[in-house]
Structure 1
Amino acid sequence: MARYNKIYGGPVEEVKPQVHEAICTTAVLPGTALVRTAGAFVQANASSKGRIFVAEDNYLAMKGVDDAWPANDRIIGVELLDEQLFRVRVPTGTSITQDAALSVNAAGKFIPATTGTFVVAFANETYNNTSGADQLVSVRAAKGYHFA
């Protein structure tokens, strides 16, 4: 069971987040980092650069945050904007501290940034994921991308 039930966390006075639609050839869970390549979404990885998106929950089909988008489906990616809050996937066994710099692993999940990795977000909360499953953690996008 997810800790949150939505990927977009606000603020509520903002207009809806910037969303983009594209085909994704692999199944992805909401909260996974994405990049766009040749007009299609692919899972981001540690060497991904440029605009980072987060897979949105499939609200069009009334699916939850733990329901994966099917492979080869047109999915919704939310553009990470620094003034908004998002919930992103953190792998099991990962400890996140508030304000920690986060990068992306090979599976598009958010992890603490290490030296030489791109910082794409900052944790908005402290959470030690010992749940045995990926969990959603609240983050804000980093202003511009930089190395840890």
Structure 2
Amino acid sequence: MARYNKIYAGPVSEVLPQVQERLCAAAILPGTALIESGSSFAQAGAASNAKIFIAQDNYLAMKGVDDTWAANDRIIGMEMLDEQLFNVRVPTGTNVARGAALTTNASGKFVLAATGNRIIAFAEEAYNNTTGADQLVRVRAAKSALASA
């Protein structure tokens, strides 16, 4: 069970983030990183250098943050703007400190950035994920993630 019930976390002064809808060949969990792949979305790989989108929860079908988008579905990818907050998926065993620099792993989940990795987001909260499952952690886009977009 996820800690949050939405992927887009605000601010409330902006009703919704900018989004794009595209088909995705693979099953996708909300809160993971997406990249453009031709006219479709694909899951971002490790320390991806492409423009990053965040897979939104399928609120149109009344699905939650732990409900996977099926393969070949038209999914919603949210554009990361630095004034907005997102809840992104962090794998189990990851200890995130507030302000920690994050990048993506091979499955599009957010992990601590090693030296030389592209920083995609900064953690807005501290969370030690020892739950045995992926969890959602609140982040803000890094300026470097926007500059390469």
- With normalisation by structure 1, the TM-score equals 0.96
Corresponding position: 1:67 with 2:67: yes
Corresponding position: 1:91 with 2:91: yes
Instruction: Provide the rounded CA distance (Å) in 1 between the counterparts of 2:102 and 2:18.
Output: 21
Percent identity over the alignment is 66
Instruction: Quote the offset at 1:138 in angstroms.
Output: 0.1
Q: Is the 8 A contact 1:46 1:117 kept in 2?
A: no
SS at match of 1:133: coil
Corresponding position: 1:106 with 2:135: no
Q: Is the 8 A contact 1:122 1:142 kept in 2?
A: yes
Corresponding position: 1:49 with 2:40: no
Instruction: Provide the rounded CA distance (Å) in 1 between the counterparts of 2:129 and 2:99.
Output: 16
Gaps of 5+ in 2: none
Instruction: Provide the rounded CA distance (Å) in 2 between the counterparts of 1:127 and 1:106.
Output: 21
Instruction: Provide the rounded CA distance (Å) in 1 between the counterparts of 2:122 and 2:18.
Output: 19
2:38 aligned partner: 38
SS at match of 2:66: coil
SS at match of 1:69: coil
The RMSD of aligned alpha carbons is 1.1
Higher strand proportion, which one? 1
Q: Is the 8 A contact 2:35 2:53 kept in 1?
A: yes
Instruction: Provide the rounded CA distance (Å) in 1 between the counterparts of 2:47 and 2:127.
Output: 25
SS at match of 1:144: helix
Corresponding position: 1:13 with 2:10: no
Amino acid at match of 2:133: A
Instruction: Quote the offset at 1:37 in angstroms.
Output: 1.1
2:25 aligned partner: 25
Instruction: Quote the offset at 1:24 in angstroms.
Output: 0.5
Q: Is the 8 A contact 2:47 2:103 kept in 1?
A: no
Instruction: Provide the rounded CA distance (Å) in 2 between the counterparts of 1:68 and 1:3.
Output: 16
Instruction: Quote the offset at 1:47 in angstroms.
Output: 4.3
Instruction: Provide the rounded CA distance (Å) in 1 between the counterparts of 2:89 and 2:53.
Output: 12
Residues matched between the structures, number: 146
2:80 aligned partner: 80
Instruction: Provide the rounded CA distance (Å) in 1 between the counterparts of 2:5 and 2:27.
Output: 19
Instruction: Quote the offset at 1:16 in angstroms.
Output: 1.4
Instruction: Provide the rounded CA distance (Å) in 2 between the counterparts of 1:133 and 1:85.
Output: 22
Gaps of 5+ in 1: none
Q: Is the 8 A contact 1:46 1:118 kept in 2?
A: no
